[in-house]
Amino acid sequence: MNVGWKRTAGLFIVLKKIKIKDMYQIINKKKIWFGISIALVTASLIAFFAWGLKLGIDFTGGSLLEVKFSQQAPSVNEVQTALSDLDLGGLTVQPTDQNGIIFRFQNTAEDMHQAVMTKLRQLAGGEQTANQLKVDGDVTVELQATPETGANQVEELRYESVGPSIGQELKRNAIYSIIIILIAIVIYVAWAFRKVSRPVASWKYGMAGVIALFHDVIIVSGIFCFLGKFYNIEVNTPFVAALLTVFGYSIADTIVVFDRVRENLPKSHQGFEETINTSINQTLRRSINTSMTTMLTLLAIVLLGGDSIKYFALALLIGIFFGTYSSIFLASPLLTLFEAKKR
């Protein structure tokens, strides 16, 4: 293996320990991988049922308002007091960096949105100074639009409101698209392996692929349950899109490995498990490297992209990581498990 690569990929360093005769003994250690996967999936399911995903306004309905103050933002308490006489419904106030505040509330009426903005401007106390005309005799002096020194300005960065009916609809659409993509993928897998019946029935490839896929999606969801519980990270429609994309990726990764298994099985002189292990080793680098390029670009978005796409990219990143992991350490070992039962 390339020396430079070993330094950059921690995974290989771990794998080094199980390397025998230039081959990584992945199938032999399948109990370890199953153990890891079962632990992760169980933890994710517990997180899911204990905390659940923190659903954003796309699904719950409600309003989200993000503002930025030109100077020090008022404290959460100040803001909550100022807004206390408005019937906002379940108001949460979350300070962001750079003097910003994000408000979430149930009321979606436009009047309420305006009322909140008015209160915030009053709180900042800087509204009256902007754009005033000062008339001095016959001379009209236009003041700068910039605030007087000492005045704090409020700027509305974004406002989103989702009525309850549309929230229901987005939820329904999300579920529909998940079902449709699952069906499409199962059909595709069945088609891709249609000619393979010996020595492994084609449905077993499909089954292993789909289990790997659920494994990935459950873990991504579990991680977001955790992020929602402890970091207030919400999931909205982009999260669903990320999951769907992970579906596609995960299954594609698995197909690449199985493709090689399919190619090697008839001509191999090794046993079944050894052949699969060889196939994994042959595709290992490319599985990791293809995911790596995509993960690098996603990493760039997570680190540098704006807030609104950061978590979308993070969901993709986690999903693709586990998609690759499961194609190597879960799907193929599963295949040997299915075959072992038969024998």
Partner 1 sequence: MSKDFLIKFFQPKGKGKLWWMFAFIAALAIVSFFVDFGFYYNKAVTSLSLNLPKVKEVPFRQGLDLQGGTQLIYKADVERILPKDRTSALNGARDVIERRVNYFGVSEPLVQINSGSNGEYRILVELAGIKDVNEAIKKIGETPLLEFKEQNEDARALTADQQKELDQFNNEAKKKAEDVLGKLLSNGDFSALAKAFSEDEVTKGNGGDLGWISASDHQSIADIVAKMKKGQTSRDLQKTENGYELLKLEDQRVKADKEIKASHILICYQGAQGCSSNLTKEEAKAKIDDLKKQATPANFTDLAKKNSTEPGAETSGGDLGWFGKGQMVEVFEKTALALAKGAISDPIETEFGYHIIYKQDERTVTEYKVSHILIKTKSIDDILGPDSEWKNTELSGKNLKRSSVQFNPNDGSPEVGLEFDADGARFFEQITSRNIDKPIAIFLDNYMISAPKVNEKITGGQAVISGKFTVQEAKDLSQRLNAGALPVPIELINQQTIGASLGHESVAKSLKAGIFGLILVVLFLIIMYRLPGILASLSLLIYGLIVLAIFKLWPVTLTLSGIAGFIMSIGVAVDANVLIFERLREELRAGRALSNAIEEGFNRAWTSIRDGNFTTIITCLVLIVFSSSVIKGFAITLFLGVLVSMFTAIVVTRNLLKLIDERWLEKNSWIIYSSKKNKN
Instruction: Check if the beta carbon of residue 234 is closer than 8 Å to that of residue 228.
Output: yes
Going by DSSP bridges, is the β-strand pair 23-24/19-20 parallel, antiparallel, or unpaired?
Answer: antiparallel
Closer to partner 1 at the Cβ: 30 or 327? 327
Under rule CB under 8 A, which residues in 187-206 are in contact with partner 1?
188, 192
Please give the Cα distance from 74 to 151 (Å, whole number).
13
Tell which one of 26, 53, 162, 196 touches partner 1 (CB under 8 A). Answer: 162
Q: Which residue has the tokens 């099985």?
A: 265
Phi, psi of 192 (to 5 degrees): -60, -30
Question: How many residues at the interface with partner 1, by CB under 8 A?
Answer: 73
- Is there binding between residue 36 and partner 1 (CB under 8 A)? no
- Is there binding between residue 6 and partner 1 (CB under 8 A)? no
- DSSP conformation letters of 180-232: HHHHHHHHHHHHHTTT--SSS-HHHHHHHHHHHHHHHHHHHHHHHHHHHHHH-
- Is there binding between residue 157 and partner 1 (CB under 8 A)? yes
Closer to partner 1 at the Cβ: 47 or 57? 57
Closer to partner 1 at the Cβ: 28 or 294? 294
Please give the Cα distance from 182 to 234 (Å, whole number).
24
Instruction: Check if the beta carbon of residue 261 is closer than 8 Å to that of residue 332.
Output: yes
Closer to partner 1 at the Cβ: 170 or 227? 170
| DSSP label of 55 | B
CB of 309 to partner 1, least distance (A): 5
First to last CA, the chain: 36
Question: What binding mask, one character per residue, do residues 51-90 give for partner 1 by CB under 8 A, x or -?
Answer: ---------------x-x----------------------
- Is there binding between residue 282 and partner 1 (CB under 8 A)? yes
CB of 62 to partner 1, least distance (A): 11
Stretch of 10-18, 28-36, 221-229, 295-303 lying at the interface with partner 1 (CB under 8 A): 295-303
Tell which one of 269, 303, 342, 343 touches partner 1 (CB under 8 A). Answer: 303
Write the single-letter amino acid at 80: Q
Under rule CB under 8 A, which residues in 226-265 are in contact with partner 1?
237-238, 240-241, 244-245, 247-249, 251-253, 255-256, 259
Please give the Cα distance from 37 to 15 (Å, whole number).
17
Stretch of 122-130, 138-146, 172-180, 224-232 lying at the interface with partner 1 (CB under 8 A): 172-180
CB of 141 to partner 1, least distance (A): 24
Please give the Cα distance from 12 to 236 (Å, whole number).
35
- Is there binding between residue 156 and partner 1 (CB under 8 A)? yes
